Amino acid sequence: MTLGTLVLSVAAAALLLTLLVGFAFRRIENWIISFLQNFCGALFIFSGWVKAVDPLGTAYKMEQYFSEFESTFSGTWFSFLAPLFPKMAELSTGFSVFMIVFEIVLGLMLIIGSARKFTAWAFFLLVLFFTFLTGFTYLTGYVPSGVNFFQFSDWGPYVATNMKVTDCGCFGDFIKLEPKTSFLKDVFLLVPSILFVIFHGKMHQLFNTGVRSALVALGVAGLIVYCFSNYRWDIPHTDFRPFHVDANIRLEKQLEDLAETNANVVAYQMTNKETGETLQMPINEYLKKYKEYPKEEWDLKQIKDEPAVQLVKTETGYTIPSAQGEPYEAELAAYLASNWAAAEGDTTTRVVERSKISDFELSGGPSGSDVTDQLLDHDGYSFMVVAYRLYTEREEQMTEMVADTVYAMDTIAVADSIKVVRRVDEVKKQQVKKTVYHWDSGYVTPWEEVVNPVLAKAQKAGHRAFAATSYASPEKLEQFKEATGSDYPFTTGDDILLKTIVRSNPGVVLLKNGKIVQKWHYKKLPAYEEIEAAYLK
């Protein structure tokens, strides 16, 4: 669904509600105000619901904002505010639930006309707050690397990659909006919010005061429980992320790489380094005039068409013309055919946008080498424990004495030959610094009592088990494995990627040849015998 489709759907629902309020309840004083009440209320309820499904997603987005605010205010006149943001980041989950519940309840209050003056002002202030966030996100696109946001004179031309927060999260993972679109959306919502403040007395009211208050109270209580159920006790029941059940990480990753390779350069965008002047020129014209735009004076950016993949039906099956000769072509063609080809004729072309699946990379082993393909190509079942962070109570720096043996090489004559032998020349004692990690006992317990017993039985049955956590030293990983009794390899990857895969720390993902068979919150992880009966077929 696109933003345009969503707005039209919400507008249609708002129109039906307005007609119902006007002709059935006969409570309308101003048709325009009532329609805007229903439109904004329905939009807020929907926007809040797609975030209530996944409160941790909103919390992670808030952490990104707090981190960006900390770096932005540091080194400025407002540096006294910077230390507040790390503390706020620690409370991001609480902020997330509060904001989600507030947004949905505010939408309900608009529709039923509860506490009109309070609702009007609350809606205005919330929209103003959202406008500030999305405006800040969009404007950071004009801030070059190494330049602080408040150094306005050093701003340059808009570059999307300058933005540290590339999506406001207004609609969670359901719809991804470009920052400029999000900002303009909130600017548009400022109009009805101002009208509500001015004409709150004209807003319609449904039912009596007692019923309205009861609906609001029940809404708050029910939504808090609902939000908690989607992260504290279980993973979201509806998964809008690319790592959903039945997604094949291996094939989707190949598909996105292929689509990106298929995208052709159609134009060049040139930006003058001195003046900021920006020009865009079709590739054929640029190739004729490129000498007029030397790289010393102009920044060049390729403009590509949409990344797409074409699937063609043949007498013997399906084929992907751009992937012919590649080892994965037959399997990928069959995968696409089963998902989106059969009903669309002999030739199907679809745009394939890049997602977090393309960023799925894990490192492991003594050398820290890339083990992604090795893990995804395994044709049996794999139990992957995902933990974006290993929680410690404290870290202690210690020193210990270790023996450092110095060897000398001697040559000796043996019969008619000379041999080189090694002998101990000296043993030195030296101090070595070591970090000792003291783990959060509440975090260690789920590993010991819930996750590891299941994985031990899975390994005994011949299935693969491994963990994926954020980048950490081998020393830290070994100490954690020892503390939890985790008898399987630990791999490392990007923490944002790991947060996207499963909303639980730790969480367990069952894979088969790169495909996600099922995911579990550790509090909902079944016994191995139940998993075996239901999924290991």
Q: Residues 450-499: pLDDT tens digits?
A: 999 999 999 999 999 999 999 988 899 999 999 999 999 999 999 999 99
pLDDT for 360 beyond 60: yes
Alpha helices for 303-432 (secondary structure H):
329-336, 372-376
Greatest mean pLDDT among 110-119, 315-324, 419-428: 110-119
Instruction: Tell me 253's DSSP state.
Output: H
Strand partners, 468: 386, 491
pLDDT for 255 beyond 70: yes
For residues 478 and 156, give the distance between their C-alpha atoms in angstroms, rounded to a whole number. Answer: 47
Mind listing the pLDDT tens digit for each residue in 141-175? 888 878 888 888 888 777 777 777 777 778 878 88
Angle between helices 179-198 and 31-52 (to 10 degrees): 140
Instruction: Calculate the average pLDDT of the chain.
Output: 89
For residues 180 and 523, give the distance between their C-alpha atoms in angstroms, rounded to a whole number. Answer: 40
In this prediction the pTM is 0.84
Q: Which of 51-60, 294-303, 395-404 has the lowest mean pLDDT?
A: 395-404
- Could you tell me the residue ranges of all domains in the chain? 3-229, 264-301, 363-391+440-535, 396-435
Residue 414 — pLDDT band, cuts 50, 70, 90?
Answer: low
Query: What does the pLDDT read at residue 175?
Result: 86
For residues 199 and 212, give the distance between their C-alpha atoms in angstroms, rounded to a whole number. Answer: 20
CATH number belonging to domain 363-391+440-535: 3.40.30.10
Mind listing the pLDDT tens digit for each residue in 24-76? 888 899 999 999 999 999 999 999 999 999 999 999 888 888 888 888 888 78
Angle between helices 55-73 and 31-52 (to 10 degrees): 90
Give the rounded percent of residues in the chain with a pLDDT score beyond 70.
95
